[in-house]
Amino acid sequence: MVWPRMVRVVQRFEQPSVADPSAAAVEAFAEATRGGGELRGTRVAVTVGSRGIADLVAVVRGLVGELHRRGAEPFIVPAMGSHGGGTAEGQRAVLATLGVTEESVDAPIRSSMETVQVGTTEDGFPVLLDRLASAADHVLVVNRVKPHTEFAGPYQSGLLKMLLIGLGKHAGAIQYHAAATRIPFERLIRTAGRLVLDRVPILAGIAIIENAYDGTAEVVGVPPAEFFAAEERLLARAAAYMATVPFDGIDLLIIDEMGKNISGAGIDTNVIRRKHWADAAIGERLDPGAPKRIFVRDLTSETQGNAAGIGIADFTLRRLADKIDRHKTYTNTITATRPRGAVLPLVYDTDEEAILAAIASAGVVDPAQACIARIRNTLRLTRIEASENLLAGAHPGARIEVTGAGTGIRFDDEGMLTPDRLPV
């Protein structure tokens, strides 16, 4: 078999980077709470979600340390909707995979799936909140701001989503996702978010924006009164920082790993340009520059078997399918009202079989002419493998450098790609 010649490509970006995320978080907190009153003796719930956010432990540890310094009693609340199988212990375990433990952040973790209703939106939807957070004197909302894998609009993944779907726990996530099938997501965020901000003692928001190197670009403190206006601005900055696969005309995109620690959909749809989970399943590519076929090879260990979003791919390996925790995956996709996200693509035992099938299904007659790109995951895009026939069509403005001579796709004796993972 003659394969296209593949080259290693390094993608470079000129973007800011925070040297000391912990100190930056403390500074952002001070700015957001300027003139905010006495904290001594108060209980402060600090939200931590399920995403693999850059420098998450350092940011949370810095905030907890500052709260202790001010005499407060901080505790961590897992704010992650239905993740961790929708159980309190499962959500505590998710935090541990991200490095967030009571020892690492110097604060107790209080995990519960119980909620209280804080009100009803004008459209008649109940607004739920974690019971432990609702009993605190203050809530400090910590989350990354970035484009959502499905929803568009001025408010996507960020502080407001954490207030609702994160702190709403499993029951709240069900309510909000169901509501989003009947009313625009932006209206839901505005009405439910405003209600929470009015009725819950939100101390501040700490927004983390990442750069294209999967590092921290900014840590921004946001007073509660500015959540809506600030998040819209921060989302635009986050979108500008995002890395992409810098080629059009890809017949096959190979992704070494997917998982909830990488993206809410396992595979960031903004990166692969398949915005909806259903696109892959029904063979539609709403973005003409999206890859014709996607082959995902494995799950990360951090995702703990949650393969929500696997339905985005067209092909996968037996080893990935065998690692899927159906309960966690089904719980997540049903809560999100996106059952197609759990639908298995075509499953093959070896990379070689999967790649041949994927190329054939993309309408490529001669494998040597296939346009192929390979990435580690949709969060790590500085190092890419690409077939030489893609280089001429690199995106305008993309800063890429070819490192080393081209070689054919390499398999070991068992038909698996070598190396098994691209470096990060």
Lookup: tokens for 409: 């796709």
Supply 346's token pair.
Answer: 């075509």
Please give the Cα distance from 282 to 361 (Å, whole number). 14
Distance, CA of 119 to chain centre: 29
Q: Is the separation of the CB atoms in 260 and 220 below 8 Å? A: no
Q: Say what the pLDDT of residue 253 is.
A: 97
Average pLDDT over residues 406-417: 92
Give the chain's length.
424
Which residues pair with residue 418 across a beta bridge?
Answer: none
Q: Is the pLDDT of residue 49 over 80?
A: yes
The CATH number of the structural domain formed by 21-241 is 3.40.50.11440
Q: Which of 25-34, 235-244, 285-294, 350-359 has the lowest mean pLDDT?
A: 285-294
d(CA 284, CA 193): 33
Instruction: Report whether 166 contacts 264 (CB < 8 A).
Output: no
26 has a pLDDT exceeding 50: yes
6: confidence class by pLDDT, cuts 50, 70, 90: very high
Q: What is the DSSP letter of 82?
A: T
Q: What are the sequence ranges of the domains in the chain?
A: 21-241, 244-408
The 10s digit of each residue's pLDDT in 341-387 is: 999 999 999 999 999 999 999 999 999 999 999 999 998 899 999 99
Q: How far apart are CA 185 and CA 162, in angstroms?
A: 14
**416 vs 181, higher pLDDT:** 416
Cα gap 41→406, rounded to integer Å: 63
Select from 343, 273, 339, 286 the least CA-distant residue to 314: 343
pLDDT at site 405: 78
Cut 0.85: pTM above it: no
pLDDT at 279 over 80: no
Instruction: Choose among 332, 331, 254, 342: nearest CA to 298.
Output: 254
**Residue-wise pLDDT tens digits, 242-273:** 888 999 999 999 999 999 989 888 998 888 88
